Amino acid sequence: MGQELYDDFLRYLCPTSVEPLGLVIERAEGCFLWTPEGRSILDFISGIAVSNVGHGCPEVLRAIRAQVERHLHVMVYGEMVQEVQVAMAQRLAEITPGDLTTAFLCNSGAEAIEGALKLCRKVTGRPRIIAFAGGYHGDTLGALSLSGEPRYRKPFEPLLPEVHILPFDDPDALRTIDEQVAGVVVEPIQGEAGIRVPGPDFLPTLSARCQEVGALLILDEVQTAVGRTGRWFACEHWGVIPDCLVLAKAVGGGMPLGAFIGRPELMHTLSIDPPFAHVTTFGGHPVSCAAGLAALRVIEQDGLMKNAEAMGAYLRHAISALPGVEGVRGMGVLLGVVLEEPSLTRAVLRLTLERGLLLGDFLNADGVIRVAPPLVVSQELCDQAVEVLAESLKVARKR
Ligand code: PMP
């Protein structure tokens, strides 16, 4: 059954690379994926920072079932009052910093970035957008225009004009941000750049500079939010409050959901001159909102942010000590393992998977391994993963 399905996967689905992971998945629960043959795989990438509450979380499944019984899609976003959508937006207003109390709900990270880009143009009337080297914000044309990796931009040019890319984590370079700038889009911790955590001054300096020149600070927390770094949002580690916060991935509890959230006076500009300046059919789908709300509840009730912090520190300490590892970067369970020999990355990933552990690489970084288990991960599973990684590194380095 597995082989036939795999062949059809190759035949009918548009590929995104010449060597897809190609794991056939039968079911998933907690920190594990299962193949049709009954092989279990320890998932240490969480569907790329999505499954923060683990796979098949009972509370999330219950909330989905209850919402399905009530209603699915009823109308395009923004027209009808759907209780679950209101509850989701209200909960986001409660947990986000400052007075980020108005949420536009959409379907994905790239879509949320597109909305944030339109917001900063609409609010300021200015042309220019600033983004950062190494950054990743999605693959729609607007989001791709912000890519800090030229090889992904190149085949699709011309992209958005007036996008300037600055070096990441260089407070001095921020002086070039001037009154021409509508918005600055930045990940507080760069994800696809191989988990790059900026120094203490970068984000506060950036925030101050944006305020000085009247540009909107847009924080892309698609990968960093919803407890993964040990706080609801990574920006809390620096005490920085953006003008607009961009979310997706884990915020839907495993269902597609995105959001860009800002102060009311900024967000309300999208409803006038002209009305319907930004709309979406499926944005804030009721089933996604139900799942996301349940996930937020579980993260809080089960103390998952504390666990993310503790397990992250534990993994970091253990992995740093392994032969072949140059260092471990990150916060909470958002980690990048820098290998001494970058060319071994693919071999190490193949070897860990053969031994039942799923790790990953990054779009914009070579020689770094992605370690991002669900926030529910236990110390026992961390030990298991470290053991497999140690063994795989040993085998790869001997070859
Ligand atoms: N921003 C960041 C920081 C991301 O990591 C991603 C996805 N990896 C995106 C935006 C795009 O999100 P999506 O794939 O949902 O469009």
> Is there a contact between 238 and 188 (Cβ–Cβ < 8 Å)?
yes
User: How close is the Cα of 142 to the center of ligand 1, in Å?
Assistant: 13
Order across the sheet with 334-339: list the strands.
325-331, 334-339, 365-371, 360-362
Structure tokens at 177: 């941000």
Q: CB under 8 Å to 83, separation ≥6 — which residues?
A: none
User: How close is the Cα of 206 to the center of ligand 1, in Å?
Assistant: 22
> Is there a contact between 285 and 255 (Cβ–Cβ < 8 Å)?
yes
pLDDT of residue 399: 86
Query: 222 in ligand 1 pocket by Cβ < 6 Å?
Result: yes
> Residue with the nearest Cα to atom 1 of ligand 1?
137
Query: 260 in ligand 1 pocket by Cβ < 6 Å?
Result: no
Segment (H or E) for 391: helix 379-398
First vs last Cα of the chain: how many Å apart? 34
CATH number for 58-301: choose from 3.40.50.300, 3.40.640.10, 3.30.1340.10, 3.40.50.1110.
3.40.640.10
Query: 248 in ligand 1 pocket by Cβ < 6 Å?
Result: yes
Q: What is the pLDDT along the chain (399 residues), one digit of tens a residue?
A: 578 999 999 999 999 999 999 999 999 999 999 999 999 999 999 999 999 999 999 999 999 999 999 999 999 999 999 999 999 999 999 999 999 999 999 999 999 999 999 999 999 999 999 999 999 999 999 999 999 999 999 999 999 999 999 999 999 999 999 999 999 999 999 999 999 999 999 999 999 999 999 999 999 999 999 999 999 999 999 999 999 999 999 999 999 999 999 999 999 999 999 999 999 999 999 999 999 999 999 999 999 999 999 999 999 999 999 999 999 999 999 999 999 999 999 999 999 999 999 999 999 999 999 999 999 999 999 999 999 999 999 999 998
Distance of CA 295 to the CA centre of its chain: 15
**Closest ligand 1 atom to 135 CA:** 3
Query: 108 in ligand 1 pocket by Cβ < 6 Å?
Result: yes
**Closest ligand 1 atom to 249 CA:** 15
Topology match between the domains 2-56+303-398 and 58-301: no
Cα angle value 68/25/56 (rounded, 5°): 40
Residue-range domain boundaries for the chain: 2-56+303-398, 58-301
pLDDT of residue 1: 55
pLDDT of residue 3: 86
Phi/psi-derived region of residue 258, left when phi > 0, alpha when psi is between -120 and 50, beta in every other case? beta
User: 2-56+303-398 belongs to which homologous superfamily?
Assistant: Aspartate Aminotransferase, domain 1 (3.90.1150.10)
Query: 188 in ligand 1 pocket by Cβ < 6 Å?
Result: no
> Is there a contact between 136 and 147 (Cβ–Cβ < 8 Å)?
yes
**Closest ligand 1 atom to 140 CA:** 16
pLDDT of residue 2: 76
E strand spans, the chain: 27-29, 32-34, 40-43, 102-106, 128-132, 163-166, 181-186, 216-220, 244-247, 258-262, 325-331, 334-339, 357-358, 360-362, 365-371
> Is there a contact between 18 and 45 (Cβ–Cβ < 8 Å)?
no
Query: 147 in ligand 1 pocket by Cβ < 6 Å?
Result: no
User: How close is the Cα of 111 to the center of ligand 1, in Å?
Assistant: 9
Query: 221 in ligand 1 pocket by Cβ < 6 Å?
Result: no
**How many alpha carbons lie under 13 Å from residue 98 in its C-beta half-sphere?**
16
Task: Name the DSSP class of 158.
Answer: S
Number of other CB atoms surrounding residue 4 within 10 Å: 9
